[in-house]
Amino acid sequence: MPTHPWQAALRLQLTPGLGLRRNKLLVQALGGCTQVLQAPAPWLREVLGERTCAALQAVPPDWPDAVAAVEHWLAAAPAGWRHIVLTWGDPDYPAALCELPDPPLLLFITDAEPADAPVLWPAGVALVGSRGATPQGLAITRQWATELADAGWCVVSGLAHGIDAAAHAGALQSERQGLLTMALMGTGPDQVYPSAHAHLKTRIAARGRCVTEYLPGERARKMNFPLRNRLLVALSAGVVVIEADLRSGSLISAQCALDLGREVMAVPGSIRSPLSQGCHALLRQGAALVTSSADVLAALPAGLVCPVQTPPWHPTPPAAPSDGLDPAWIARVRQALGHDPWTVDELQARLGGSWAELQAGLQSLEWRGLLARLPGDRVQWISDGGEPVIPDK
Amino acid sequence: MPTHPWQAALRLQLTPGLGLRRNKLLVQALGGCTQVLQAPAPWLREVLGERTCAALQAVPPDWPDAVAAVEHWLAAAPAGWRHIVLTWGDPDYPAALCELPDPPLLLFITDAEPADAPVLWPAGVALVGSRGATPQGLAITRQWATELADAGWCVVSGLAHGIDAAAHAGALQSERQGLLTMALMGTGPDQVYPSAHAHLKTRIAARGRCVTEYLPGERARKMNFPLRNRLLVALSAGVVVIEADLRSGSLISAQCALDLGREVMAVPGSIRSPLSQGCHALLRQGAALVTSSADVLAALPAGLVCPVQTPPWHPTPPAAPSDGLDPAWIARVRQALGHDPWTVDELQARLGGSWAELQAGLQSLEWRGLLARLPGDRVQWISDGGEPVIPDK
């Protein structure tokens, strides 16, 4: 059995077919990762279904190796550095991430603070954009990052080529004391991607922080980077898109920011530049037009600081799940939803029946991992147990 | 006495201290310029005040020369061209101008249509911007102007250097039949400013139209150009600002367009370019962001054509003006208004009294040339009988 909460979290994370959304439901309902593993089997079977409950009760075969890898990494911090694993439920776990539908259970952190100092989460502002930015885009990013760091903000970005690297490097030009910049990585904490940014990563850890949800040893995988963006956004009060073409991942970050109620800002540019098309699309959708770091500061909420210690779960007893769902009803919901997201109102208009029964049924489907909640009181069927595709609004 | 309506209009226009706003009130109330000159003296004295009434009844000393200048210009059209003077009240006078608080009583038109053809006013789209535009701004303007003209729109601009000239030249590249472009001039119809645009003016008149409210012989005066912009805007369904710095007259045109309910569009550009700052200011205020002529076409109202023949005045008997105003009340209004624009609501809160009495009193002040109506149900005192400064909103 796990001896630390992070070991319990690791078991939940490695349990096949469980997923971050259902892990959030479980941790919120039961009060912590360790408590989930100690929950009575009948209750788990009722809410998760037979197969997932059985998976959760077995020890995942890759769990011992993962524990060993984390322990190795924790012990491997060079002198003057610290390696930390934060588990959802720890006092230092950033409450802002709990706003996500799929918060990570674990965060791996590298910084150069004293070993016993708390992990504080100051107000962040994300500067994001294309890996293939123009020289002007890079210069703007560096300058604004320095100015925002000087003004007391922590510049958040993704350690990638282009705008990301310029954002970190610009923030590190600031002479302010405190956390200047934060890199959200798409790899394990002991990896660097791109490898050319090894030195930059060290500089960030020295005067800021490197953060990832991926396990030590996890190399760069293409699918990790868009997922990483949700953390980058959640830890920021606002997202500034400097340069982005219409297929840029920055537009996904901007959509995520809208969903989370974060301020979205975009920098206009030449209509001849493909790297401005994404920004112009955001401006058309109502993003704030910014042409200076002063504009960014004016658009950011005043005095916002991520709460350091907010209980990330509801300390209430587990909600009584609804009784066994009628397979015919499940089939009707599935047919009504199809592949598209629908509001609960629309779904009720299609299915009829009482509002309370529908909500209870939907909650059970969510626990079973068959349904995802989307922003705007919408729901979407998860056909293969995977994450839903969040569509454009 | 005048023998043609345009001669009557010329007398009203040359009457000292009358002004375009009061001329609009008079023409709307009495049915035409000739009728104003024939109105009973006691009525005029009552509504305009003693001094202005006396000025209106005297023949302005410069009127005979002005009539001769117009007659000379009308007769001086080269073969294949026509010179036309339109008076407010003529069937061909563009109804769109009557939406202005200060419509011109006369329009001087140069084109190459058959002598007896009506003066039609097709749907216009204004392309405006800086005289010192960038090569990219000029290229965009030329391209979009051609595309808008191809799509059936008449490209409206001001014959100036820079964006204006590129707009006219681009429209003239279209091979479409019909009115391709319209130049609103800040000089008399026989003048060209800048002089380098003499050939351009000829080309515009050949496949479009040159329009001005200024008398033959009137040279370029700095104050004419912002006034000219109001006609340019009123004759257009939308205004596209291509490049403009923060002091550009194009921003005045954009404000005028908002006041008239015209669509305002702006082209984003590099945040390093001073010539994009005006555009970015407009985008922040809600202007539509356009990056192609297709965007412009999508933002323009579908199928809009300026009405060819709408009665430009209310064929009702003259409104009975309120009786002699109390000088103490006038002094109170003047003190309450100061130099700023106020809504009528705000003014009533300051002055007290009944709404109907206040409105009647304000109407009398307007007739006396002491008060101007501004958009948004606001009023402003006209201290020296001049036009009010329309403030930023």
Chain A residues within 8 A of B271 when measuring between CB atoms: 140, 267-269, 291-292
Residue A393's pLDDT band (boundaries 50, 70, 90)? very low
Residues of B in contact with A271 (CB under 8 A): 140, 267-269, 291-292
Q: Which amino acid is at A266?
A: A
Please indicate whether, in this complex, the C-beta atoms of B268 and A272 are within 8 angstroms of each other: no
**Per-residue confidence (pLDDT) for residue A383, from 0 to 100:** 66
Which residue do the tokens 């939940």 mark? A12
Q: What is the mean pLDDT of residues A295-308?
A: 72
Residue to test with chain B: of A245, A271, A272, A293, most B Cβ within 10 A: A271
Chain A residues whose beta carbon lies within 8 Å of the beta carbon of residue B292: 271
Which residue carries 């729109």 as its tokens?
B153
- The first and second tokens of residue B178, run together, are 């019909």
Task: Transcribe A189-235 into DSSP letters.
Answer: TT--SSGGGHHHHHHHHHHSEEEESSPTT----TTHHHHHHHHHHHT
Per-residue pLDDT at A387 exceeds 80 = no
Residue by residue, what is the 3-state secondary structure of B116-149? CCCCCCCCEEEEECCCCCCHHHHHHHHHHHHHHH
pLDDT of amino acid A303: 56
Distance CA A363, CA A381 (A): 12
Q: Which of B140, B271, B292 comes nearest A268 by C-beta?
A: B271
Whether the pLDDT of residue A352 is over 50: the answer is yes
Task: Please state the rounded mean pLDDT for residues A239-250.
Answer: 94
Quick one: closest CA in A to B134, which residue?
A270
Chain A residues closer than 8 Å to B243 by CB: none
Q: Which is nearest to A392 in space by CA: A254, A220, A274, A204? A: A254
Question: pTM for the complete prediction?
Answer: 0.81
Best mutation target, B279, B289, B296, to test chain A (most A CBs within 10 A):
B289
pLDDT at A364: 85
* d(CA A137, nearest CA chain B) in Å: 10
The Cβ-side half-sphere exposure at A349, using a 13 Å CA radius, reads 5
**What are A304's two structure tokens?**
């916002």
**Span A203-227, pLDDT tens digits:** 999 999 999 999 999 999 988 888 8
Cα–Cα distances in angstroms (integers) from residue B22 to residues B16, B44, B168, B356, in the given order: 12, 12, 34, 21
Residues of B with CB under 8 A from a CB of A: 136, 140, 267-272, 276-277, 280, 283-284, 289, 291-292
With H, G, I as helix, E, B as strand and everything else as coil, classify residue B215.
coil
Residue A369 CA to residue A385 CA, distance in Å, equals 6
pLDDT at A152 over 70: yes
Chain B residues closer than 8 Å to A276 by CB? 268
Mean pLDDT by 10 residues, chain B (393 residues): 89 92 90 91 88 91 96 95 94 92 96 93 94 93 97 96 97 96 97 96 97 96 89 96 93 92 95 94 96 96 52 47 72 85 88 86 85 86 58 36
Q: Which helix (H) or strand (E) holds A383?
A: none
Contacts of B291 in chain A (CB under 8 A): 271, 277, 280
Chain A residues close to B280, C-beta within 8 Å: 268, 289, 291
Of the segments A145-159, A377-391, B31-45, which one has the largest average pLDDT value? Answer: A145-159
> What was the pLDDT predicted at B318?
53
CB contact under 8 A, B291 and A268: no
Residue range A251-284, pLDDT digits in tens? 999 999 999 999 999 999 999 899 999 999 999 9
Instruction: Give the percent of chain A with pLDDT over 90.
Output: 64
Q: Give the integer Cα–Cα distance in Å for B246 and A218.
A: 51
Q: How many CB pairs under 8 A join A and B?
A: 43
Helix (H, G, I), strand (E, B) or coil at A9: helix
Rounded CA-CA distance A223/B241 in Å is 42
Give the range among A33-42, A289-298, B144-153, B201-210 with minimum mean pLDDT.
A33-42
pLDDT on residue B305 = 47
Are the beta carbons of A268 and B272 separated by less than 8 Å?
no
Across the interface, do B284 and A284 touch by the CB < 8 Å criterion? no
| Residue burial B137-169, b: 16+ Cβ < 10 Å; e: rest | bbebbbebbbbbbeeebbbbbbbbbbbbbbbbb
Question: How big is chain B by its Cα radius of gyration, in Å?
Answer: 22
pLDDT of residue A392: 35
Query: Average pLDDT over chain A, rounded to whole?
Result: 89
pLDDT band of A374, cuts 50, 70, 90: confident
The pLDDT score that the predictor gives to residue A384 is: 57
Closest chain A residue by Cα to residue B270: A269
Q: Do A283 and B268 lie within an 8 Å CB cutoff?
A: yes
Indicate which of B138, B243, B267, B280 best probes the interface with A, i.e. most A CBs within 10 Å of its own CB.
B280
Average pLDDT over residues A293-319: 63
- The per-residue pLDDT for B215 is 97
pLDDT bucket at A340, cuts 50 / 70 / 90: confident
Q: Are the beta carbons of A291 and B283 separated by less than 8 Å? A: no
d(CA A239, CA B392): 31
